Structure 1
Amino acid sequence: MNAPDIAGRRGFLKVAAAAGGSLMVGFWTLPGEALAATAAAKAGATAPADLNAFIAIGADDSITLTMPKVEMGQGVYTSVPMLIAEELEVDMDKIVLRHAPPDAKVYGAPFGDQFTGGSLTIRTVYEPMRQTGAAARMVLIQAAADQWQVAPDSCHAEHGEVVHAASGRRVKYGKLVAAAARLPAPEKITLKDAKDFKLIGKPLKRLDAKGKTDGTAMFGIDAQSKGLKVAVVAASPVVGGKLKSVDDAKARKLRGVRQVVKLDNAVAVVADNYWYAKQGLAALDIVWDEGQYAKLSTDDVRTTMLAALKKPGKVARNDGDALKAIAADAKRIEATYVNPMLAHATMEPMNCTVHVKGDGTAEIWTGSQVPARARDDAAKVLGLAPEKVTLHNHLLGGGFGRRLYTDYVTQAAAIARQVKGPVKLVWSREEDIQHGLFRGLYAHSVSASVDAAGKPVAFSHKIAGPSNLAIFAPGWLKDGLDGDNVEGSENFAYDIPNMRTEYTREDGPVPTAFWRGVGPTRNMAVLESFMDELALHAGQDPLAYRLSLLSKEPRAANVLKLAAQKAGWGEKLPPRSGRGIALMRAWGTYLAQVVDVSVNDDGEVAVKRVVCAVDCGQVVNPDTVAAQIQSGINYGLTAGLFGAITVKDGRVEQSNFHDYRILRINEAPKIEVEIVKSAEAPGGIGEPGTAGVGAALTNAVFAATGVRVRELPLRPELLKKA
């Protein structure tokens, strides 16, 4: 997800006392609409004691971190506490995590929207969390120095205590919080020098690993409540269809079935458990109004997007005059690429538990990347004020952008308002795949003019497809331009004097959403494959060709060289084997991947090895970085080898993992991750592995077979040995 520029945001830090004598410290990075509140606070106005308080230190030495981000497998419930612990000088096992309640105004910094996604977590909280920990440390030291009547700089903090080395005196933080809470926030916050880090940059085991392995971790689907019923749902099988009628006589006679709930475009069966509800759903006789898209096909969507490439669009980058130079070149190189539709296929299907109570309130249990939106959207469905709705947000069994949307929450609310007592909506795997929100189908036109040495002097990239930002955050569009759809192209790393990136918005009837890696997953798969085409045209090695165009990007050149070196670039490979390379720059991160494949005579591709070099700036937890890269590569390979959502007669054809294939453990390659040590600002890491692997895969397949793949997934019939 390409979010607004996070640089230059204004913020302020506050130290306050809370009930029970706790010291509360929070750092605010505020969106524009809150600047007036900032001014008031600086002028001495009081704010609620717990407003945006990231940490609370109790008189009992307890340290509670209110997490403004959600954990969906990316490791932030470990890496974010590391930032606090590093500056506060406490041991990691002393920090207790508390889920931030849904409140976009309080926990929505720096965008005014409480969400987790876009590889933004560490990029946005790295400084605020460190400053919060450092500020707490400084006021605690000041409080101890005042008590001992010594200079603050003669004291230091370690392991949750303030120490005066000269006299040997030491005092635990809990004994100081009352006095520290009365002190003003430091005017100047002193952060540690990187050479003094004890935690940041060091490998640390995930704090959430134990609960996820022994079964005690709570996900949305684990929610329980007295008298809980379970609902399963069938939505219109046709895109945009509506419910016409339903005969539920057979279903109501089945054991455990309690209720049948009709919605505008779906019908739900409420029962004592999931199995009974599934049996009841199967017994329904449903008639659908299929609507105007009853004959829609993937080919229709594809044709629409290809036609949109001929329409004028919004220009995101226009260095020099690429179109003029390309048009004047009779030997220009041109290609058209298509990205398929993809499902998210999270391991935990969509689910939400809602209890509409008789006192005008409601309670919700779910897992959402946007807890405040989820609460507010559910409140609208229930006809309640948001403050009347309590949402408990749990761990997420996979997000990938799917849980940035609230459709499953509002559907649960619509069902629950017709049911007495709590009801848990659980989408079946079939419902999750066939009625989800998909990565859209995008078409790309790329063209270039090269000089006598084969180097590009002009490069044009035009993209056509739906706009996810227009739905998720229309205020982020810049003069109608969807920044997500051009990321990776707008900031293409190579030295090209004439470069143009253009986007034509073409929304279709199939509902679309962000998908892990968002814009760069689509764009890098195209651009880095086309770079191989240009290298072939120039008769040059793909690695050497790229390096010759990176004189202004040393970080990009470095990861390419490192990945190639570790992979053994240039070594001779067996017949029908190939090695491909690709570069990615997005989310403030530089990443290069080398993929080794073999292709059998039937055209089946086996990925043997992936070497990835990544420069994501200052690393917080290298174990998390490596895990995210490995996860992202396997997710991207799944899409490249197998992934495609297709539509026939208005219906999604895939329904479960038998026809929407997921990379199996015996198919997963050996993955080697090389992390570049860097002092640059942290970059994102949740999505780059996925975005970087697609082109490396297709480039490797070309090296093995001579077949240039411009539309994934790979099709064995095209790669068969002649």
Structure 2
Amino acid sequence: MNSIATTPSLNRRSVIAVLALGGGALVLGVPFASAQQAKRDFGPGGPKEAFKCWLKIGADNSVTVRVHLAEMGQGITTALPQLVAEELGAAWADMRFEFPPNGKIYYNRGYGNFTEGTGGSASIRGQFTMFREIGATAREMFKSAAAAQWKVPVSELSAENTRIIHAKSGRSASLGELAAAAAKQPVPTSIALKEKTDWKILGSALPRLDTPAKVDGSAGFGTDVVVANMLVATIQAAPVFTARLKSVDPAPALKVQGVRQVVTLDNAVAVVAESYWPALKGLKALMPEWESNSRAQYGMGNLNADFDAALNRTDAPVLQATGDVDGALKAAVQKATFEYSVPYLAHACMEPMNATAHVQKDRIDIWIPGQGHTSVVDGVSKALGVDPLSIHVHRTFLGGGFGRRGEDDVAIQAVLIAKHVGRPVKLIWSREEDIRHDFYRPAAKMRMTAALDANGMPTALDIMNACPSISMRRFPEAIKDGKDMSGLAGFGDSPYKIANSRMRYALVDNGIPVGYWRAVNHTQNVFFREAMLNELAAKVGKDGLAFRRALLADNPRYLAVLDAVEKLSDYATLLAPGKPGTKRGRGFALSNSHGSIVAQVIDITVGTDSTLAIDRVSCVVDVGIIVNRGIIEAQMESSIIDGLASAMFGGMTPKDGGMAEGNFNEVRFMKLAETPELRVEVRDWPDTPPGGVGEPGVPPGPPALVDALAHATGVRVRALPILKQGFNI
């Protein structure tokens, strides 16, 4: 039996039950002791949902897998069915997927099985073993059914192309033909998962199952939801964070044709209409008055002062310490101190924030493109004081997530508005509302002092990290003695062999809402770490990649990644000269997060007018076990573009207690013409669980880019974004 697992193997008798449905189908679900337990564990659907929660194999030979995690472009509606298909022996053309309702059974095993959340690059890591076991369990039940019909030993049977085959007699039958009989078989007490050497589907770049629906327009996103008798709303929250609504005259909005109502909330005003555009027109006609707030003058000057004060705190708690940092600093042959900073970043998901709600006497229905259905249920339950079991959350595709859609704010607003109106309401935020009322990637500032020995290698790091806490708002119990341990990301899990290190953490609490962004705190800290290492390498006259080799000398997995990216990027070959007057540079950075390793080499050209052109990015990713090579490549390409965009353009500007930027003319992303050539190589590593792929490719781009700039121009950029440091594009 294959022993690779990322979570403890589940007791399949607590997870899998069997039901033969009309029409001859086999369904794998979950047993329950009572209807009440079923309702508690499976949500409002209760017993009806329990018996069809994971897998259905129809008489037509279709294999439908219930995907309980959010599909936001990362390909989970393909990767999870791929796990099942491999063990079941199904042909890819027969695979289907569908979204289930909310319920405890659909908790993400990668999150410790406590929430219906999708994020943290945990989907495959958390479900890898479980979904293979579901497929293997069904396979053995079909084999048992065929063995009983054909009176042959189970050991002589195999599963392939959605058929059970008896090679000795030449007989075979489709799973659809055997479904009714298989449903009567007992659940096997033990199963063997396939060895990696026998995989035919896993590791392949199979076509995505959601592509046809996204091409023909039938894929249902949140903004596509239509409910009978539905109205549409849009909203404006207080422009100053934490401010409240004082008053508003609804008359100007009600004069707009199509507007039905104006609804006031604690910190916002919404206009409800027959469709979105009259709602927006009505909202723009309003002149809401907001209560004064002590934060109303907060701007960049205050922000810089807050971070500088935090960085200079002498009483900041220590998050982590190893070795004797003070002793190593005293004994250092050389010392170097660096300061780096990064700004707040908006998510700016392409699909606007939205949710549709229908509030009835005994139930609430919510349609939302969400990453966190448990948080939606909990938030709405608390906001309205209703039983969580009365809340039905309907899943849709997501037009981007990146952590933003794990929040419950939009759902709560939609439910409150729908309750007030007495009809189903689809709430759609404007782009300005989305960007100015985000839960931003925290800004951060870091000071690092490094001790170097006679060989120019670091012996100690003394780190001061000034950063808002992403945990304090949602998980306040995680903050103890002013410490948010997530601030260690990129350092607590650093692979580099540096004997002495210490990180102090100064929590910055300035009222700007922060949350989870793609790759979370690794986006700040890996930039700081890798930029610092590149500066140290330059200081002692060493190549950045060679410098990492010395720090990773005892780690063959990392060294293999370095070898691969060196080859992929033609690292040993000097960059060809550019046009007269231009300068060329090459930079390197390495990141490790979510169980994966990513190395990137970036080649650039800088013009005489400081115009930056990114020519090529070479990326090698080691994900442990490869599930779908094509999806991994796509995620790396997406991550590279996100990382580079954040480094060049990213940054929110606090102004008058809120944020200055409000649309894509101010929050820029890379255009197609600005996107470099992307080379991606996907690697595995023996006997290693699968790593995440949605986020690990983001962090190394920014430090590799500023390293390339330094090699091209001699200028070390220590504060992002780059285009605010004298460069343009």
> Structure 2-normalised TM-score?
0.91
Q: Match for 2:660 among 653, 663, 667?
A: 653
Deviation per CA, 1:482-528: give whole Å up to 9, x if none: 44321221111111121233433333300001100111111111100
RMSD: 2.5
Residues 406 and 337 (structure 1), Cα distance of their counterparts in 2 relative to 1, 3 Å cut: same
Residue by residue over 1:260-291, the C-alpha shift from the partner in whole angstroms, topping out at 9 and shown as x without a partner, is 00111110111111111111111112111131
Check 1:604–1:283 CA distance in 2 against 1; reply closer, same or farther (3 A cut): same
Please give the alpha-carbon distance, in whole angstroms, between the structure 2 residues aligned to 1:643 and 1:595. 19
Is contact 2:259–2:272 with CA below 8 Å preserved after alignment?
yes
2:87 matched residue in structure 1:
87
Change in CA separation of 1:476 and 1:92 when aligned onto 2, cut-off 3 Å? farther
Aligned positions of 1:53-68 closer than 5 A: 53-68=53-68
Q: Any conservation in 2 of the 1:416–1:423 contact (CA below 8 Å)?
A: yes
Q: Is the 8 A contact 1:27 1:128 kept in 2?
A: no
**Contact in 1 for aligned 2:6/2:129 (Cα 8 Å):** no
- Matched ranges for 1:458-473 at <5 A: 458-473=460-475
Residue 23 of structure 1 pairs with residue 18 of structure 2: no
Q: Provide the aligned length of Structure 1 versus Structure 2.
A: 700
Q: CA deviation at 1:373?
A: 2.0
1:231–1:327: structure 2 CA closer, same or farther, 3 Å change rule?
A: farther
Match of 1:484 in 2: 486
Q: What CA distance in whole angstroms lies between the structure 2 residues aligned with 1:314 and 1:18?
A: 56
Match of 2:720 in 1: 712
CA contact (8 A) 1:603 1:718 kept: yes
Q: 1:175 to 1:331 in 2, by over 3 A?
A: same
TM-superposed CA distance for 1:52, in Å, is: 8.3
Structure 1 residue 161: Cα displacement: 2.0
Shift of 1:318: 2.5
Q: How does 1:104-123 map to 2 (within 5 A)?
A: 104-109=104-109, 110-123=112-125
Answer whether contact 2:53 2:100 (CA < 8 A) is retained. Answer: no
1:390 Cα deviation (Å)?
A: 1.9
1:94 Cα deviation after fit: 1.9
Does the 8 Å contact 1:26/1:132 carry over to 2? Answer: no
Map of 1:338 onto structure 2: 341
Instruction: Compare 388-397 and 573-582 and name the one that shifted more.
Output: 573-582
Answer whether contact 1:556 1:591 (CA < 8 A) is retained: no
**Corresponding position of 1:382:** 384
In 2, Cα distance between equivalents of 1:49 and 1:168:
39
Q: Is the 8 A contact 1:59 1:177 kept in 2?
A: yes
Match of 2:172 in 1: 170
Q: 1:556 to 1:479 in 2, by over 3 A?
A: farther
1:401 and 1:577 mapped to 2: Cα distance? 36
Cα distance change, pair 59–470 in 1 and its aligned pair in 2 (3 A): farther
Secondary structure, in 3 states, of the residue corresponding to 1:578?
A: strand
Deviations 1:187-229 (A, max 9, x none): 3321112222111111112221222222111100111122221
Residue in structure 2 matching 1:609, options 613, 616, 622: 616
1:452 match? 454
Residue 354 of structure 2 is matched in structure 1 by 351
The answer as to whether partners of 2:639 and 2:698 remain within 8 angstroms in 1 is yes
1: CA distance, partners of 2:605 / 2:106: 52
- The runs of 5 or more residues in structure 2 that have no matched partner are 32-36, 42-46
Q: 1:250 aligns with which of 249, 252, 255?
A: 252
Further displaced range: 554-563 or 419-428: 554-563
Match of 1:31 in 2: none
Please state how far the C-alpha of 1:312 moved relative to its aligned partner: 4.3
C-alpha distance in 2 between matches for 1:555 and 1:480: 36
CA distance in 2, matches of 1:249, 1:154: 78
- Label 1:189 to 1:10 Cα distance change in 2 as closer, same or farther (>3 A): closer
Equivalent position of 2:699 in the other structure: 691
Q: Residues 368 and 396 of structure 2 are in contact (CA less than 8 Å); yes or no, is this contact kept in structure 1?
A: yes
Question: Shift in Å at residue 473 of structure 1?
Answer: 4.3
Q: How does 1:308-457 map to 2 (within 5 A)?
A: 308-309=310-311, 310-313=313-316, 315-327=318-330, 329=332, 331-357=334-360, 359-457=361-459
What is the CA–CA distance in structure 1 between the aligned matches of 2:655 and 2:479, rounded to whole Å?
32
Cα deviation, residue 681, structure 1: 1.5
Q: Please give the alpha-carbon distance, in whole angstroms, between the structure 1 residues aligned to 2:139 and 2:503.
A: 48
TM-score (norm 1): 0.92
Q: Find out whether 1:13 has 2:20 as its counterpart.
A: no
Q: Aligned to 2:460, what secondary structure does the other structure show?
A: strand
1:623 corresponding residue in structure 2: 630
How far, CA to CA, are the matches of 2:74 and 2:510 in structure 1?
31
Quote the sequence identity (%): 39
Cα pair 1:301 1:441 within 8 Å, conserved: no
SS in 2 for 1:690: coil
Please identify, of 79-88 and 473-482, the stretch whose mean Cα deviation from structure 2 is larger: 473-482
8 Å contact kept, 1:12–1:27: no
Q: How far apart are residue 315 of structure 1 and its match?
A: 4.2
**Counterparts in 2 of 1:485 and 1:186: CA distance versus 1, 3 Å:** farther
Deviation string 1:441-470 (CA, Å, 9 cap, x unpaired) is 112121110101100111233322122233
User: Whole-Å Cα distance in 2 between the matches of residues 286 and 163 of structure 1?
Assistant: 71
The CA deviation at 1:105 is 5.0
Aligned twin of 1:135:
137
Task: Tell me how far apart the structure 1 counterparts of residues 145 and 221 of structure 2 sit (CA, whole Å).
Answer: 41
Distance 1:8 1:234, change over 3 A: closer
Amino acid in structure 1 at the alignment position of 2:565: A
More displaced, 251-260 or 458-467? 458-467
Report how far residue 479 of structure 1 moved: 8.4
C-alpha deviations, 1:331-365, integer Å up to 9, x for none? 421111112100001100100111123x4322211
Note the C-alpha offset of 1:25.
3.4
Correspondence 1:703 to 2:711: yes
Q: CA deviation at 1:98?
A: 1.9
Which residue of structure 1 aligns with residue 44 of structure 2? none
* CA contact 1:593–1:612 (8 Å) conserved in 2: yes
2:333·2:452 contact (CA, 8 Å) conserved in 1?
no
Q: What is the alpha-carbon distance in structure 2 between the residues aligned to residue 17 and residue 60 of structure 1?
A: 18
Residue 477 of structure 1 deviates from its aligned partner by: 6.4
Query: How far 1:150 moved relative to its partner?
Result: 2.2
Consecutive unaligned residues in structure 1, runs of 5 or more: 1-5, 29-36, 42-46
Task: Describe the SS at the equivalent of 1:293.
Answer: coil
The separation in 1 between residues aligned to 2:432 and 2:126, in whole angstroms, is 36
CA drift at 1:379: 3.3
**For 2:627, what is the secondary structure of its paired residue?**
coil
Deviation at 1:7, TM superposition (A): 5.4
Distance 2:437 2:623 in 1: 35
Identify which of 571, 579, 585 aligns with 2:586.
Answer: 579
The alpha-carbon deviation at position 106 of structure 1 amounts to: 4.3
Within 2, Cα distance between the matches of 1:157 and 1:327? Answer: 67
Q: Which moved more, 1:6-15 or 1:249-258?
A: 6-15
Residue of structure 2 in register with 1:549 after alignment? 551
Aligned position for 2:599:
592
For the Cα contact (< 8 Å) 2:108–2:123, is it kept in 1? Answer: no
Q: Which sits farther off after the overlay, 595-604 or 55-64?
A: 55-64
1:220 to 201, 219, 222: 222
* Contact 1:461-1:502 at 8 Å conserved across structures: yes
Query: Which residue in the other structure is 1:530 paired with?
Result: 532
Question: Are residues 1:270 and 2:272 paired?
Answer: yes
